[in-house]
A and B are shown apart, each in its own frame.
Chain A
Amino acid sequence: MPGEGGAVPSVSNVELSGLPALMERIEVESKRLGDVVWGVQDEVGLEAAYEQAATSALRAPLLAERSVALRRIAKRVVPKALVPAARRVVGAVDGVSRRVVGARSARPRSS
């Protein structure tokens, strides 16, 4: 039952002696992991990987929105008769740009 004023006590009546020792072992083990398993480079790599994932995830809806907006504008300014030809041109430009981007990303990077 909550105590006076509805507040809940933070300490249990159930006996527990192992927790302080557990917390000490966690300190020791985390130091060991930091020394031999998980170094600064791992940490930096993890942060970079997350930042890249976050940036891509935030950019994706913006790109989708921009694409929808461009399509809307194109619908207004391109005469109906020219739509198939315009699509072919856009497809060709898209294909070339994809190949260029693909070639760039496949290039080895100096470290």
Chain B
Amino acid sequence: MSNHTFEAQRLLHELGFESEIYAQILGPGVEGRVRPIAALAEYASTERWLLYQCSIGSPVADAFGADPGRKLLDYHNITPAELVERWIPPLGDESRLGRQQLRSLAPLVPFAFADSEFNASELRDFGFAHAEVVSVLIESANLDVGADPDALDRLELAKSDGGSDWLFVGQVAPHKAQHEIVAALACYRKAYPDRARLHLVGRPMGSAYLDSVVRFAGSLDLASAVELPGSVPAPELSAYYESADVFVCLSHHEGFCVPIVEAMARGLSVVAADVAAVPGTLGDAGVLLKRRDPVYVAAAIHELLADRATRASLVRRGLDRAKLFSLDAARVAFRRAITEAVSERHA
């Protein structure tokens, strides 16, 4: 259950709606805030509005489709099966199921939201008649919280040996391609005297891919240069953003990529592969890579770090662009979209 969902509920309350959250899996810490999906039918009514937040195949989609209530859908993208099934076969099945479910839900949902134009375009391809972009309600704490001083000291101490710090934040998962950033680091360290370090922050999606990244880094003699601290508390995450020299994203698939916004908001320059929703999120506030081979990525990072003036301009653009995705801006867009969705035109 994401903070986006709770923030959306808060905004619905502000708009005067009664709102309950239902979910298939009730994780820890949501007691009293989230109901099991089995309870959805208890209050079935043609007068009620349902807003389905979709990011994977789930029995929730079936319950949503079968309910007589009026329907809205909030799409946060489904990672294509072919990018994950080698590592977690059941996830590939869930991904395919999710895309099938979206196709069958399309005629039932007159109004859908997506957090990027890339996702909205996918919805239109699935057959949704109206798909509007409404930015993700980004947790402001991640952007505002100060850096953990101990973590910052540790990271700054490592800098005293020289070398740049590369950062990627996101689930350690095959479609995020952390191994390709490791490959680029290997090339970079061979090409330049800079003893660069790479920090891959994020919780692992299963153990096998994480294990492969660790083994790969080890086989390239980069074990001490590549850090995988897992998911870290917000103040520690701030320390990573603050001490990094460049944010590197070589994902094969992103439905939006919140960490790019976080990097821009913190004045960190961004180098990212030009795929999926990434160009829509980054805009022209960073270096969009047309190729992703290690040589090209290494050259891009080297040239960006060497060109202080352009880097400073990109950082200014990033700070400016991050405001477009601020929680306040997203709240306004969400309120407007909900108001329009439940108006007579779509009811």
A residues near B (Cβ < 8 Å) are 1-2, 5-19, 21-23, 25-26, 29-30, 32-34, 37-38, 42-43, 46, 49-50, 52-54, 56-58, 60-61
Q: CB-defined interface of B113-140 with A at 8 Å, one 1/0 digit per residue?
A: 1000100000000000000111100000
A37→B220 contact, CB < 8 A? no
**Interface presence of B183 (CB below 8 A):** yes
- Cα separation A78 to B304 with both chains bound (whole Å): 65
- Cα separation A38 to B294 with both chains bound (whole Å): 9
Which residues on A sit within 8 Å (CB–CB) of B133? 2, 5-8
- 24 examples of A-B residue contacts, CB within 8 angstroms: A1-B332, A2-B135, A6-B113, A6-B135, A8-B117, A8-B325, A10-B279, A10-B283, A12-B283, A12-B284, A12-B320, A14-B320, A16-B284, A18-B309, A18-B310, A22-B307, A37-B187, A49-B220, A50-B179, A53-B215, A54-B212, A57-B210, A57-B212, A58-B208
B residues near A (Cβ < 8 Å) are 86-87, 113, 117, 132-135, 179, 183, 186-187, 190-191, 207-213, 215-216, 218-220, 279-280, 283-285, 287, 291, 293-296, 298-300, 302-304, 307, 309-310, 313-314, 316-317, 320-321, 324-325, 329-330, 332-333, 336-337
B342 to chain A, nearest CB (A): 16
Q: A18-B310, A19-B314, A37-B295 are known; give 16 further A-B pairs, CB within 8 A.
A: A1-B329, A6-B333, A7-B133, A16-B314, A22-B303, A22-B307, A26-B287, A26-B300, A30-B291, A30-B295, A30-B299, A33-B187, A33-B191, A38-B190, A38-B295, A58-B86
What's the count of A-B pairs with C-beta under 8 Å?
149
- Candidates A14, A54, A57, A61; contact of B316 at CB < 8 Å: A14
How would you classify the secondary structure of chain A's contact residues: helix, strand, loop or mixed? helix
- Cα separation A14 to B294 with both chains bound (whole Å): 30
Which residues on A sit within 8 Å (CB–CB) of B117? 7-8
A13→B320 contact, CB < 8 A? yes
Known contacts A12-B320, A14-B320, A30-B295; is-contact A53 B216 (Cβ 8 Å)? yes
B310→A61 contact, CB < 8 A? no
A103 to chain B, nearest CB (A): 22
B325→A38 contact, CB < 8 A? no
Which residues on B sit within 8 Å (CB–CB) of A14? 313, 316-317, 320
- Cα separation A26 to B310 with both chains bound (whole Å): 13
- Cα separation A9 to B280 with both chains bound (whole Å): 8
Q: Which residue of A lies closest to B179 (CB)?
A: A50
- Cα separation A15 to B312 with both chains bound (whole Å): 11
Which residues on A sit within 8 Å (CB–CB) of B183? 46, 50
B218 to chain A, nearest CB (A): 8
- Candidates B132, B207, B330, B332; contact of A61 at CB < 8 Å: B207
Which residues on B sit within 8 Å (CB–CB) of A26? 287, 296, 299-300, 303
A50→B307 contact, CB < 8 A? no
Q: Which residue of A lies closest to B87 (CB)?
A: A58
- Cα separation A53 to B216 with both chains bound (whole Å): 5
A46 to chain B, nearest CB (A): 5
A63 to chain B, nearest CB (A): 12
- Cα separation A42 to B220 with both chains bound (whole Å): 11
- Candidates A10, A37, A50; contact of B190 at CB < 8 Å: A37
Which residues on B sit within 8 Å (CB–CB) of A37? 187, 190-191, 295
A16→B324 contact, CB < 8 A? no
Closest 10 CB pairs of A and B: A18-B310, A57-B212, A53-B215, A57-B211, A30-B299, A29-B299, A53-B216, A6-B333, A16-B313, A6-B133
